[in-house]
Structure 1
Amino acid sequence: MVSIDLDTVLDRAWADKPLAEVLAAPVSALKGVSDRDGELLKEAFGVTTVAELAELKYVRWAQALAALDTAK
């Protein structure tokens, strides 16, 4: 089971929302991601929600590469 501190990864306004609502939220719901960052992600990759960002192939590729590095 994956455990995550929502207060650490979400803007305060989103920390108490249900998971389905967070996944449908704009990427700016993530702490440290500005509205402008969200606009740039939309322009570059067509990503508008937290769920779409999680499914972005480039994110998954980067995670796989990082996992290989920690498997040493």
Structure 2
Amino acid sequence: MASIDLDKVLDKAWADKELAEILAAPVSALKGVSDKDGEHLQQAFGVRTVADLAGLKYVRWAQALAALDTTA
């Protein structure tokens, strides 16, 4: 199972929360994602939560393409 440093990917207020709470959090819980960014994601893709973003087909497609990149 992959490990992730939550302090590096979450705003400070979210780093000590349970996983279920983080997944239900607005995307602005992610470090570097503003409330305005969250509004844009919601308008463009219907993304409201971290789980919504993770499940977005465009994100999955981009990850699959990046995984194919042998130069990285």
CA distance in 1, matches of 2:39, 2:70: 32
Match of 2:39 in 1: 39
Match of 2:69 in 1: 69
Q: What's the TM-score once normalised by structure 2's chain length?
A: 0.96
CA offsets, 1:4-51, max 9 Å, x none?
A: 000000000000000000000000000000000000000000000000
Using the aligned pairs only, state the percent identity.
81
Q: CA RMSD in A?
A: 1.3
Aligned residues: 72
SS of the equivalent of 1:4 reads coil
Structure 1: tracts of 5 or more residues without a match: none
